[in-house]
A and B are shown apart, each in its own frame.
Chain A
């Protein structure tokens, strides 16, 4: 078997992108999901609709707007460039921003569902037992939402690994920088390099299946059952 024909670089970039994106998503997604689960505000439905937009928009539409926003004259790219001197568009950092937005609903929705299922009742019990709001969040709400976190992590990770349109538009296709597996496969097929395409596609397929298998098996064994 000749492994030398596999181009490892896109694989590492893809994994790096997915890990960083999921970390950022969990960090940002948790407070958003928490707010959506508990706010009585009328603004909630508006925020929910915005969060869900990437689910229905064609990736090219999102990619197009992101490209403009991240560009040298864009609302994000402009200030970034004047501070750091480098461009966000066609960079790895730009890719992280794009992936974060694109996978946002896949992380926020499971978390919101988990927080809503646990409700406020257990938090009240924790407060009455001397736990501050932060303490109650970390010692009661988040452990009770552990299934939600697992689902959010896996979906966010898998969705980032699987994206194509947005990364192509925002990241370009720069080998060693922004070229991820899905784009590498596309390139191989274009160049009629079917055996390389087979290796990458088969690998991605196997990887995705194993991850899902582990998650479903693990999910059944988790002790928390909240009706």
Chain B
């Protein structure tokens, strides 16, 4: 598998970036971090908008930057598409001319996608003759994504494309991004400070903290690492499960999803049976039982689990994180008192009860 490899070191007065990364050049790579963690600067380095004096960057077989060889491919010669936080549509051009701006600048034999295809994909036909100022924020971002796609990029870079949109607009854009991931074989690097917004998209996760990358890997692996649990904030500690919709129980307002040979009930989703769906299990919503209870309980989701690892205990805090194997690694947060009371040890067979399953969009934060 080919990869994107980079090494950037940038020193500003208030801020520094010092990262060395290697990640797959396929699927969606999410760069996640607080504001000021350097994620936008990292993206700008990948695009060639910033130049690290000692930097190195390789995309597949092509080296775009190697300062030791004095090599730096300028932005306009890189086969990238860039979407900025503010759409940056040219105000003196119509939507159609904005879309054509990059399309006209690549040679016809490099065009892998047509104007019509992009207009269909991003649903832009009703907007074509309008001026960017007359569009809503969500429409502007759709045009900006379409404009970038029309250069037939080999790498798409998105800098918090949803950050300036309200919750409703986010909901409007997200299906387009999901469609993009599904229909185009295009590696995407997506910068965000809100993990919830990208849970349906993410394949690889890069966690950035104070200019350094603290973790890189498959999303679920990174999210379920105990040593990182404290770093992502309580509202994101947990795991992502990739499931398939198995059926609906409309009379109860529930949807049943499946992963491996396990199933979970979640609030009803407007999805067809067989559709893929990622669900987020927050560690704080998962508790442990030693055996299947003889007395009836209200818990619907009961998964057989093996304790893999017990996180470090903070003598001042009351809780502790556990890593469980339920077919996939997941995290659970329980009290230290329960840990002692149940005499939990790595290797023990237990049951994980899932009180709630957060869907994408519901979690904001970090």
Contact = CB atoms under 8 A, between A and B. Distances in A.
Given A124-B49, A127-B76, A128-B80, A223 B92 contact: yes
Interface residues of B, number: 24
Contacts of B36: none
B259 interface: no
Contact of B90 (A122, A128, A133, A135): A122
A38 to B, nearest CB: 14
A121 B86 contact: yes
Given A223-B131, A225-B133, A129 B151 contact: yes
Contact of B92 (A131, A135, A143): A143
B131 A126 contact: no
A127 B75 contact: yes
Interface string A168-199: 00000000000000000000000000000000
Interface string A110-141: 00000000000110111111111101100110
A224 interface: yes
A133 B90 CA distance: 16
Interface string B190-202: 0000000000000
Interface in A141-180: 143-144, 146
Pick the most buried of B74, B76, B81: most chain A CB atoms within 10 A of its CB: B76
Contacts of B86: 121
Nearest to A139: B101
A125 B90 contact: yes
Nearest to A127: B75
Interface in B84-130: 84, 86, 88, 90-92, 101-102, 105-106
B278 interface: no
Interface in B329-363: none
Contacts of A129: 76, 101-102, 105, 147-148, 151
B47 A128 contact: yes
Contact of A130 (B49, B92, B105, B133): B105
A1 interface: no
A5 interface: no
A148 to B, nearest CB: 13
Contacts of A131: 76, 101-102, 105
B151 A122 contact: no
B75 A128 contact: yes
Contacts of B80: 128
Contacts of B206: none
Interface string A191-227: 0000000000000000000000000000000011110
A115 to B, nearest CB: 14
B281 interface: no
Contacts of B288: none
A125 B75 CA distance: 10
B257 interface: no
B148 A128 contact: yes
Nearest to B153: A128
A144 B76 CA distance: 20
A106 to B, nearest CB: 24
B84 A224 contact: no
A223 B91 CA distance: 8
B84 A125 contact: yes
A147 B80 CA distance: 32
B82 interface: yes
A22 B296 CA distance: 90
A80 B133 CA distance: 52
Contacts of A146: 92
A120 to B, nearest CB: 10
Nearest to B110: A130
Contacts of B106: 130
A73 B131 CA distance: 58
A224 B92 contact: yes
A225 B91 contact: yes
Contacts of A139: 101
Given A121-B86, A124-B49, A125-B82, A130 B91 contact: no
B75 A226 contact: no
B90 A121 contact: no
B151 A224 contact: no
Interface of B: 47, 49, 74-77, 80-82, 84, 86, 88, 90-92, 101-102, 105-106, 131, 133, 147-148, 151
9 contacts: A126-B90, A127-B49, A127-B74, A128-B148, A129-B102, A129-B147, A131-B101, A146-B92, A226-B91
Interface of A: 121-122, 124-133, 135-136, 139-140, 143-144, 146, 223-226
Given A121-B86, A131-B76, 20 more contacts: A121-B88, A124-B84, A126-B90, A127-B49, A128-B75, A128-B76, A129-B76, A129-B101, A129-B102, A129-B151, A130-B76, A130-B151, A133-B76, A140-B90, A140-B92, A144-B90, A223-B92, A223-B131, A224-B91, A226-B91
A-B CB proximity, top 9 nearest: A129-B102, A128-B82, A130-B105, A125-B88, A127-B75, A143-B92, A224-B92, A127-B76, A130-B76
